[in-house]
Amino acid sequence: MKIDLADKAKELGLKYFLISYTDLFGSQRAKLVPASAIAGMQKNGAGFAGFATWLDLSPADSDMFAIPDPTTLIPLPWKPEVGWLASDIWMDGKPVAQGPRIVLQKVMAASRAMGYQMKSGVECEFFLTTPDGSAISDPADTAAKPCYDAAALLRRYDVITEICDAMLAMGWGAYQNDHEDANGQFEMNWHYDDALITADRHVFFKFMAKSIAEKHGLRATFMPKPFLGLTGSGCHSHVSMWDGDRNLFEDEAGVLGVSQLGYHFIGGAIEHAGAIAALLNPTVNSYKRINAPRTISGATWAPNTVTYSGNNRTHMIRIPEPGRFEMRLADGAANPYLLQAGLLAAGLDGIARKTDPGPRLDINMYTDGHLVKDARRLPLNLLDALRAFEASPMLGAALGEGFVKSYAKLKHAEWNEFAAHLSEWERRATLDC
Ligand SMILES: [Mg+2]
C-alpha cells in the first residue's frame, strides 16, 4: 500500500521533512520541507541545482528533483518533529544515471534478474574527537591495547547509548557496541538486511552519529586514518546472496560451509578488488589505512593484499562462519550506496563467469605475507585505484559508463588538488637536495 507522507505527518506529529540525497562523495544534501508542502514534494520531488553538489552536473542543467522513497521515513531520534527521507534524484523526467542510490538499484535489478538478492551488514567504525577534530575526545583513553576497554566505553555511555537506543527504537536490530582498537575509536552493530536497506541505514547512521556526538559537545568522524600510528576506521562488509528465505551461500558440504556460488562471488571480489577500491576506499586518506605499517596496538586490522582466508582477520576477505564472508577492504569514507554497488557488481561478475578465487591462505598475512611471492597488492594510492577503476569494462557495464566517467572525473580532480599541495614533509625532504 502506498505510504502517504501527509498522513504520516499527522500520525507521527511531524512538522518538517528532511528530503535528502547522497552525492558521489557521500555527502548528504537535503531540503527542509514543512509538512504542509509534503504532498506535492512526494509526487514531484524537492528541487535542487545539481551542479552545486558532487554529481558532475553543469550550472546550465535543468533543475534536479529529489523524489523521496517513503519507505525510508525516520523521525529524527534527536529531533522527532523532523522526518528524514532518502531520495532518488531525477532530471528532465529521467533518473540521474550517476546518482549513487540509482546506481545501487541498477546493480540490484541485474542481480534480481539473475535470481539473487544480496543481503549485507556493515561494521561502522568511527572516532569521537574534540570538536575541531584534532585529538580524541577522552584524555584518559591512552592504553596501548585499548580494544574493548570497558572504562573508556562507559565514559562515552551517554553518546553511545543515545545512538543505540535510537537504533533499537527504529527496529534495526542493534545488538552490540564496543570500544575499538584505536584510542577514541568505537563501533556499533546492527542486523544485516537487503543491500539497499543497509545502504540507507548506513547513510542515516553516519548522519545520526555525527549529530548526536555534536549534541554532546564532541565530533564523530569516519575518516579512514585520522591519527597516524593508531588503527584506522574500516567498514567491514558482510555479504550473502539469497533467494527468498534461502541463503544461497550456505552449503554444509562446501569448504568452510560456503557454497560454490559463494566462492564464485569471492572470486569476483578478488579479481576486481583493485578497481572497486576506488569506491570502497574513495579518499586520499583511505590509502593510509590499507598497506599501513603496524600500529601502536600491534596490528592495523586492515588488508595489504588481495587474498582470502577462513576465520583470519589478516586478509582482505575472511570467512568467519558458514553462509557468508566478510570483505575487510572498505573504510569509513566509502559512500554507502557505492560500497554495496561495487561489491555486488564484482560478485555478480564472478558468479556469471564462475570465477575461481584460487587457493585460500591460512597464514598470518601481517607477519608471513612476504612468504607469498605472487600475492596481488592493493592499490597504493587513490590514483592507482582510479586508473584500475576506469580501465574496468566490468564496472562500466554494471554501474554504467556515465557513472564511471563522472565519478572518475571528480575524483581525479580531488587527486590533482592533493598533488598540487606542497607538504611540509616534501619541503623538508627536498629543500637541500
Ligand atoms: Mg571493528
Cα(305) to centroid(ligand 1), Å: 19
Q: How far is it, in rounded angstroms, from Cα 113 to Cα 265? A: 16
Q: What is the pTM of this model?
A: 0.97
Cα(93) to centroid(ligand 1), Å: 42
Burial tier of 112 (Cβ tally within 10 Å: 0-12, 13-18, 19+): exposed
**Other residues' Cβ atoms within 10 Å of the Cβ of residue 215:** 13
Cα(193) to centroid(ligand 1), Å: 19
Cα(316) to centroid(ligand 1), Å: 14
Residues of each domain in the chain carrying CATH 3.30.590.10? 106-401
**Residue 114: what pLDDT?**
97
Q: Are strands 16-22 and 193-194 parallel, antiparallel or unpaired?
A: unpaired
Cα(232) to centroid(ligand 1), Å: 10
Cα(311) to centroid(ligand 1), Å: 14
**Domain 5-95 sits in which CATH superfamily?**
Glutamine synthetase, N-terminal domain (3.10.20.70)
The secondary structure of residue 74, as a DSSP letter, is E
Cα(182) to centroid(ligand 1), Å: 10
Cα(115) to centroid(ligand 1), Å: 32
Q: Are strands 16-22 and 79-91 parallel, antiparallel or unpaired?
A: parallel
Cα(88) to centroid(ligand 1), Å: 31
Residues of each domain in the chain carrying CATH 3.10.20.70? 5-95
Cα(332) to centroid(ligand 1), Å: 11
Cα(180) to centroid(ligand 1), Å: 6
Cα(312) to centroid(ligand 1), Å: 14
Cα(330) to centroid(ligand 1), Å: 12
* Sign of the Cα pseudo-torsion (70, 170, 111, 411, in order): positive
Whether the Cβ atoms of residue 66 and residue 20 lie closer than 8 Å to each other: yes
Residue with cell 525516520: 74
Cα(123) to centroid(ligand 1), Å: 6
Q: How far is it, in rounded angstroms, from Cα 389 to Cα 343? A: 13
Cα(125) to centroid(ligand 1), Å: 6
Cα(143) to centroid(ligand 1), Å: 17
Cα(364) to centroid(ligand 1), Å: 18
Q: Are strands 117-129 and 219-221 parallel, antiparallel or unpaired?
A: antiparallel
Crossing angle for the helix pair 401-419 and 273-280, nearest 10 degrees? 70
Contacts of 221 (CB under 8 A, 6+ apart): 126, 127, 129, 133, 233, 332
Cα(76) to centroid(ligand 1), Å: 26
10-residue block means of pLDDT along the chain (433 residues)? Answer: 94 98 97 98 96 94 96 98 98 97 98 98 98 97 96 98 98 98 98 98 98 98 96 98 98 97 98 98 97 85 92 95 97 98 98 97 90 89 98 98 98 97 95 96
Cα(148) to centroid(ligand 1), Å: 10
Cα(224) to centroid(ligand 1), Å: 12
**Residue 291: what pLDDT?**
85
Contacts of 170 (CB under 8 A, 6+ apart): 74, 77
Cα(261) to centroid(ligand 1), Å: 27
**Residue 295: what pLDDT?**
87
**Kindly report the CA angle at 315 between 309 and 319, in degrees rounded to 5?**
40
Cα(205) to centroid(ligand 1), Å: 16
Cα(234) to centroid(ligand 1), Å: 7
**Residue 296: what pLDDT?**
87
**Other residues' Cβ atoms within 10 Å of the Cβ of residue 356:** 14
Whether the Cβ atoms of residue 247 and residue 323 lie closer than 8 Å to each other: yes
Task: Tell me which architecture the domain covering 106-401 has in CATH.
Answer: 2-Layer Sandwich (3.30)
Cα(375) to centroid(ligand 1), Å: 24
CA R_g for the chain: 22
Cα(187) to centroid(ligand 1), Å: 6
- For residue 225, the one-letter residue type is K
Cα(251) to centroid(ligand 1), Å: 27
The secondary structure of residue 300, as a DSSP letter, is -
Cα(347) to centroid(ligand 1), Å: 23
